[in-house]
Structure 1
C-alpha cells in the first residue's frame, strides 16, 4: 500500500511540474507512460479473460490466514508460501498481481460476500457446505462460493515430540482434550470424532489461529492438533528445530483445496481455472510444489467444485 501511495504522489508531483512549466509534451509523455505501464498486462495470455473491473485495477485481492506454513505464512513482513507462489504463477498468465491480506480464517468466505476480497486462497477445503453457503449443520450462513481446486491433501495428527500419550489414530483421542483452529475442516473432523467417542468424551478447544492450537499442545494442555498434511509435516520439521512435535498415524479425510470465488463472479472463476490449467501445462505449478516439498498434493488439472 505504501508503494502504491508513493507512486500516486510521484505522478501528482510530475503533473504539477508539467503544469507549472507548461511543458505539455512532457505531461503527455507521462500520461502515455502511465497508460503503457497499466497496459503491459494486456500482453499476458489470459488478461482478456478477466472481468474488466479486475483488468482496470490490475490486482486480484486475496483473503488469507497467513499462519499456516508452508501453505501461507509471514516471513520478514511478507506473506509467503505455496499459495502465494502459485498465485504469482497464475498472475503471470493473467497479467495482474495477486495482493494477499491476512485475516481470521473463519471470516474469509464472508469477505467474498461483502466484496472486500475477490478470492480466498488459504488452504480452504472445497466442501459442498461451503459451496452452498451452509455450516456443518446445514444452516445458511452466506451466499455460497465456487471453488477452483488446485491442491489435494488429507489431514494428519500433530502431537508433542515423543508422543507421550501414544496417539496413533483419531480413536485414541476419546477421553482426551485436543486443540484446533476454529472454522476449519479439521475442527469438523474433531467434532465428528467427538460424536463417535460418545460418553468417553472428547474435549475440543478451538482457537482463532493454528499457532495458538500448537502452543496448547506443546504446553501439554491438549494431546493433539489436527492439520492438513503438508502443514503438519512442516511444523514437525521446523518447530523447535524439529524437537517440538511429530506427525502420527496416516492421513484421513483426503480432499481438495480450492480458490474460493463468489458465485456472482463467474468470469473471474473461469479465468482462474484457465490460468491454473496453463501453469500445470507449462510446468511452473510443479516447480512451486517441488520448492516447498509438497509434490504429493499435485492435481493433474483444474476442477470446479469437485470437493465433497
Structure 2
C-alpha cells in the first residue's frame, strides 16, 4: 500500500473518532449533567436540598426530550467555563449572559430572553438611585456577585462607588434589605422578581435598563451535536408556548389578567342586580345603577380562572358578560 493511502486511511480513522460527540455519551449514559450556580433567582436556586427556577425547569424539559435523567452539578460564576473544560458537566445553565469572551471559550446556544442591567434597592429608593451618575459616588455602597457580568458592569460604569463583593449572589439582596449596601447591580428579570416577591425591595431602571443582552446556555467547545439538540429544544419550547408557561410559573412574566364587563341585562332584572351585588360587593342601590348604565366594568385585572367563574355566575342570572384581556 502506498504511503499516501496509509495516511489517508489513518486520517479517515481519526475523523471517525472525532465525530463521536458528547451527545452520544449523554445518550449512552442516560444522564445529562447540568452545571448551575443555584444562587440566581428566578433562574437557578438551591435551597440546600433541591434546585428550582426557570432554567432548572428547562433542564428537566431537555432531559425529557432526550430521554435521559438530569443531574445538577453545583458550580460558581467564576468557574462556569472551567467546569465545562474539565468535563464536570455537559452544559451550564442558570441566567448566563451571552458574551464574546464566553463564545471564544465555549459554544453558546441561541438567546432565549432579552434583558438589561439595572439596580435593586430598598423600597422607596428607586428615584434616589435611578441613574449611573447618582450611584457612581463614593458615598453609595454597591453590592455585586463575584465573577459574573454584574461585577464587570459595576467595575466599568461605577468606578467611584464603594464596593462590597459577594461570593453568593443570594446574599446581595439580603444585604440591601439589611441596609449593608445601598444598591445591588442586577438584571431586569432578577430585579423585577425581587420587587414582586419581597415588599422591602424595589427595582430601579428595570423598565429602561442600561444595557441590552440575552441569556443563553454554555456547551463545551466544538460539541456541535449537543449544541444543535439544545437549540432545537429551545425552538420547540417557543413554538409550543412552553417557554411562556415556565416563565409565568417562575414569575418572569406577569400572569395575563382579565376585566369582566357587563354588556347586557336581558334576564330577570332583580336576579341580575343581586348577581352584580355578589360579584362586586356594592350595595343593592349601587348594583341597580350599574345594571341600568351599560356597558359596565364589574371587576378588573382578575386571573383567567376567577374571571371565567364570575362570567358563569352572572350569565346564570341572565346577564350578558364579556371577559376582556387587560392590554
Q: Compute the TM-score of the two structures, normalised by the length of structure 2.
A: 0.65
Q: Give, in angstroms, the shift of residue 110 of structure 1.
A: 0.9
1:291 equivalenced with 2:249 (yes/no): yes
1:158 equivalenced with 2:117 (yes/no): no
Counterpart of 2:25?
53
Q: Compute the TM-score of the two structures, normalised by the length of structure 1.
A: 0.69
What is the DSSP-based 3-state SS (H/G/I as helix, E as strand, rest coil) of the residue aligned with 2:212? strand
Unpaired segments of 5 or more residues in structure 2?
Answer: 1-20, 255-327
1:168 to 125, 130, 136: 130
Counterpart of 1:139?
none
Runs of 4+ in 1 over 3 A off after TM superposition: none
Counterpart of 1:183?
147
Q: Give, in angstroms, the shift of residue 92 of structure 1.
A: 2.5
Q: Distance in 2 between matches of 1:295 and 1:216?
A: 26
Counterpart of 1:278?
236
| Alignment: residue pair count | 230
More helix by share: 1
1:49-198 to 2 correspondences below 5 Å: 51-75=23-47, 77-132=49-104, 144-148=105-109, 149-163=111-125, 166-175=128-137, 176-195=140-159
1:238 equivalenced with 2:194 (yes/no): no
Bigger Cα Rg: 2
Question: Could you say what the CA RMSD is over the residues aligned between the two structures, in angstroms?
Answer: 2.2
What is the DSSP-based 3-state SS (H/G/I as helix, E as strand, rest coil) of the residue aligned with 1:130? helix
Q: Distance in 2 between matches of 1:170 and 1:57?
A: 49
Unpaired segments of 5 or more residues in structure 1?
Answer: 1-48, 133-143, 196-200, 297-308
> Which one scores higher on RCO, CA 8 angstroms, separation ≥ 6?
1
What is the DSSP-based 3-state SS (H/G/I as helix, E as strand, rest coil) of the residue aligned with 1:251? coil
What is the DSSP-based 3-state SS (H/G/I as helix, E as strand, rest coil) of the residue aligned with 1:163? coil
Q: Distance in 2 between matches of 1:88 and 1:235?
A: 24
Counterpart of 1:207?
166
Q: Distance in 1 between matches of 2:127 and 2:65?
A: 49
